[in-house]
Structure formats: structure tokens, C-alpha cells
Structure 1
């Protein structure tokens, strides 16, 4: 996806950052596969769930070879969290047991709340060409884990693209940036999800709530994070976990080369996490109940659809 082809809106207000967060650690993702053999990089893994609460997982995928994605993600269940899939290039069809269907394609996203349980599939609608994007898992608070499933398609035109100085742009999937509200607002976790394109030598500033956990994932070029002697370099295909310094009011990112990166932040839930594959609850007993519900066909009743 070339952001230059998207209609942009001017920044409504500058972001003021007096003291920038810096990088606590740099993480290299793990090459793996999921679904029916789709090759991807798992960037945010289970061992970072506490540190980056409320986020549970980030997968990055990108390939020109159809053999790496053609199998797609056939029917599979989820319970207890939200998924956000953001597509830079390619076409993928979503269908689920709650009756939702949508086509995810260049520059678009889909936001799904699995809640009490949903069975869905994500299958490619292309036989060649590039497929590239990300899937983020966002935890639900204990009080909302058994909420009714919810789904929204976000075509590229519905995601605000803000034009900044010197050719920089920021796409605001969630939260707000430069006075522009994002496509989605979620209570409790208050996520910020930005896709930033930044020319070499330029700075990007973003205010962040002090209590939010945050990270940056660089998928093109190279950036440095912080200010002065505290700058830390994050290369392409690396995640920089941002520190939680109490005095910091945001983050400043400089492009060391033409760069594109995700900036993601959220308010931690500080609740127990019990995960078994595609199910994320708060206790092992709830996981056992979820497995029993799925095995015995009670999942379908909880979503009003047909269990796969």
C-alpha cells in the first residue's frame, strides 16, 4: 500500500512531547507458520504479554510467494479477546459463525471482538501477488470476556490518514494523533494504533498516556527512538519495547532512513492471563470450561451461529 494514493487530511493540532520515552529492549520476531501453513513472524510472543499488557500477540506477514499464504486460515475458534487485522497489500475474505462477512484488502483493516466465542476463517482471494499485513491480539477485561461477538470492516478510506510536515503521514486506526480521532475507539484498554510513514531525517512526535504500555514495530527502513543521548536505534523487522519512565509524556521517533512503522499503546488491565491457543481467559478453570463448550457444541449457541 502506497499512502500517497490515499486522501489525506491536515493535522488539526501538533503533538507536544516534552520528554520522550526510549527503548527498553529490542525484540527480533520468531519465524513460524499458522493456519494452513501461512508463513509469518511472531513479533509479540507469550513471554511479553505481561510487559505489554493489554496486548497478547502481534504477527507480521509479508511475501510475494503464493505458497506462503495460499492455504489461509480455515475455520478456527476464539474466545476472550479482540483481533485487529491490518492489510497493507492483498485480499482476504473473513467469514464467521455470527454471520459476519467482509473483504479485507489494500490499506484496510478488520476489528473483531471474539468475546464469548466465535468461529471464523480468513482466506485469501488472490492466487498470486503480494500479501502483507499484521494481526494484533488485544485482551478483553474480565468483565467483558463473555460479551457478544462484534465485527467491523474498515476499508482504507475509513481510516484517517493525516498529512504532516515534510511528506510524513500517519494513519490512525485507533486512538488519536495530531488532533485527529482514529477509526476505532475502545473503552477500558484505550488502544492507540498508528501506522507512520516518515522520510529520512524527519522526526515524529506522539503524546502517550503515562500509564500505557507501548511499543514500535519498524517494517521499513530504520529509526531511532528518544532524544539526545538516550536515542536507541530500531532496525527493520524489529520491535522496540518503550520504557515506562514516569516523567515521559510521549515518544519522539526519527527516521534514520525512509521508514514505516507501527506505534501501538494501550492501558494495561493488570489481570491474570490464562491462555490455551486461541482462547484467552483469566483462570485455568475458565479455559477448561471454554474447551468443554467448544467440544460440546455450546460455542455455537453463544454466538448464534453454526459451530465449524
Structure 2
């Protein structure tokens, strides 16, 4: 089973094309999604938006780049997600001496059977935490590229599928840069979304310190499984996207390509990624349609890390998120008329 959802409407049981998702379907899927998110939040206090966006990325079969200082709960988030989707999780500590085979696995000759056997690496799990990914060499970083894009690894000419669902949560410390290797643009573009947990709010951190109601990820009961996750993803392909929303996404992308502060704007891959994940967000919000506000909500997380600043902008201390904010403010959003569920 691959990890890529084909574009277009989902086929029905008769082999034809199913119609648009109904309001009742959207409500059912949104309720199920809310249950999963609430379960994860039992282990990750006060981070509702990050939890929901992380789950949306998983449903979209994308991957997450978590940029944050140590100790903010990045690994806890990944473990909680794995527990709630009834999956396995693995953690890989990226270091300068880490080899590609330490990530993907290795083929070993078995003296007893006189045959070569493949020993899977930690990447063969539903949720893989690539901790401090920028501390490994570019060669080891690139070992993740194939599995992130194709959902499989190639070792000694043989290809092996990873489990489904499959989510890579890569972390990096945005403050300490000594002994790190900058992630190249080609690899950054493979991450569907970039998130930051940040420090907990006062009340949430106080509850964490006291241990009030905090649940360990090891104690979380599964709230869904791979088939039910796939069912939500299939339904999302039938969420309506007005042509004006597609045009809005394209106008935003063109604006970044022409912006004086950017050397490289948004790629076609990034616009396709937005068109896909925005459907998931709409469905899990209880709606049968996408609106421009969904694009605005996701843009800083889906697009900012893909932008390459010009040397002048970089020296001036600007960030991709700053420039993207200007583009969103200067590009008028469409105002089409929608009908359907009010959403949540």
C-alpha cells in the first residue's frame, strides 16, 4: 500500500465516481477527527491548533517539520499521535556519524539460511521522529527523501514499503546552529507543513508541572485505525473547491515568484500540496467546501518554509513568514458564495 492519495474524486463501489461529500458525512468525519484530537490533547496540553494541524497533515499523508527549542513536547506529540491511531512510533537521534543504513535498514547475510536478509530500520513505523534532523550529514538526511516521497525505501536494489499511515516528524532547534547542516530546499519542499509548539501558556504549564490530568502517551487508547483514517482521506477528495479558490492559490504563488525579497517563490508542488491539505482541513472542520480562509490559515505552515529569501532580505533580518504575510495581505481573497455546513 502506497502513501500517496491519488487526486480526484473517490471511486464508488460500482467503479464509478462518488458524488460530492454530504453535510452528514462531513459531520461524522469531523466528530471522529475531534475525538482523535481530544485524545492527543490529553497528553499535549494547551496546543489545540498544533495538534489539529499535525493530524490534518497525517491525513493528507504529508510530513511535519517541528522547529522548536528542546523540552516543548515534540516527541510527546508524535508518541500521542501514534498511540491514538493505533500505530507504532520510532525515534531516530540524528547525529553527524549517523549512516543512511541506520535510518532505512540494512541487508545482512544469514549464515544459517545462506541467504541475504533485510533488517528494517527505524523508518518502518507509522510515526517516525527524526530528532534534530539538521545534525546529520546531507547524505543521511537524503536517505529520508525517498521514503517521504514514495512511501518506500530501496536497499541493495530491493524496494520495501513502509506501513500506512506513515508520518515523519522531523525536529530541529532554530536557535543552536553549531554543528548542524542546513536542510536543502529540495528536502524542505518535502515537508508538507512546518509547526512550532512553543512554550505552554501559564495555566497549561502549571497543570503540566502539577501533573493534573496529564496522560502519558503510553496510556492512551487507540481512537482510530489505518482504515478509518484512509476513509476520512478518501472523503476529503470529494470536498468541493471553487475555481476562484484555485485561482487564489495560484495568484498567491505567482506573487511570491515575483516578490523582490524572494530568490525562489512557491513551486507547483507547493500549490498542489495546498489544494490537497485544504480539503482535509475543510472536512475535519465539518464543511463540504473549502473557503479562502482555509488557505490563509494554512499558508504560514504549508508555504513559509519553502520560500528562499534574497540576500538583501536575509541580511535585513526578514523571514519567509514575514514576506508571506505581506503577500497574503496584498492579494485580495475571493468572495464566492458557498452553501453547506457551517463548520467548526
TM-score (norm 1): 0.25
Greater Rg by CA:
2
Structure with more helix by fraction: 2
